[in-house]
Amino acid sequence: MPAFVVRKATVADIEALAGHRAAMFRDMGDLAPDQEAALAGATATYLRDALPRGEYLAWVAESAGEPEIIAGAGAQLRPILPRPGSTERELELGPEAIILNVYVQRKWRRQGIAEALMRELLDDLAGRGIRRIVLHASPDGRRLYERMGFEATNEMRLRSQ
C-alpha cells in the first residue's frame, strides 16, 4: 500500500499550499526567515481568487496514514500571444502553463511523491490540450524534470532595482 495519496487540491488546502510555497523558497535559500509568513499570506490571498477561477491548478499529496498534506504542486494558466508552434505549419494559441510550487516536506523526499504529483499535473494539462508547459527548476528538481522530458531553454531574466 502506498505511503501517500495524490488528489486535486481544493480551497480548503490553500493554507497548506501557501505554506509550502514559502518553505520551498526558504529551503532554496531565497527567502529570509522573517519573510516566510508574509509570503505565505500573500500567496494564500492570491490562491483564494485564482484557484476557484481555474487560473491556478493544484494537487496535494497526503500521508496515507493520517490526513496530513505532505507535498503539493501547481500550474498557473496564462494567456500568450499566438506564436509559431513546434512545426512551421502550426501555431500555438495558448494558454501556457507554468509549473510552480513543487514542494515535498523534507522527511518525505526521495519517495516518488514529486514525480506522482507532476504526472497528475501533466495528465490534467494534456487533457485540457495545453501543450506549452514551462517551469523554473531548482538544482534539486532538475533531474526529475529532465527525466520527464523537460529541456533547458534560452530564457533570460532581468531583475531591475
Q: Please give the pLDDT value at position 80.
A: 92
Closest C-alpha among 63, 80, 79, 60 to residue 121: 60
Q: Please give the pLDDT value at position 51.
A: 97
Q: Is 101 left (phi over 0), alpha (psi -120 to 50) or beta?
A: left
Name, in order, each residue with C-beta under 8 angstroms of 138's C-beta and a sequence gap of 6 or more. Answer: 24, 28
Q: Please give the pLDDT value at position 85.
A: 82
Q: Please give the pLDDT value at position 1.
A: 54
Q: Please give the pLDDT value at position 21.
A: 97
Q: Please give the pLDDT value at position 108.
A: 93
Q: Please give the pLDDT value at position 159.
A: 84
Q: Please give the pLDDT value at position 100.
A: 96
Give the domains, in start order, of the chain with CATH numbers: 4-147 (3.40.630.30)
pTM of the model: 0.91
Q: Which residues of the chain have pLDDT under 50?
A: none
Tens-place pLDDT, residues 32-47: 999 999 999 999 999 9
Q: Please give the pLDDT value at position 160.
A: 84
Q: Please give the pLDDT value at position 153.
A: 87
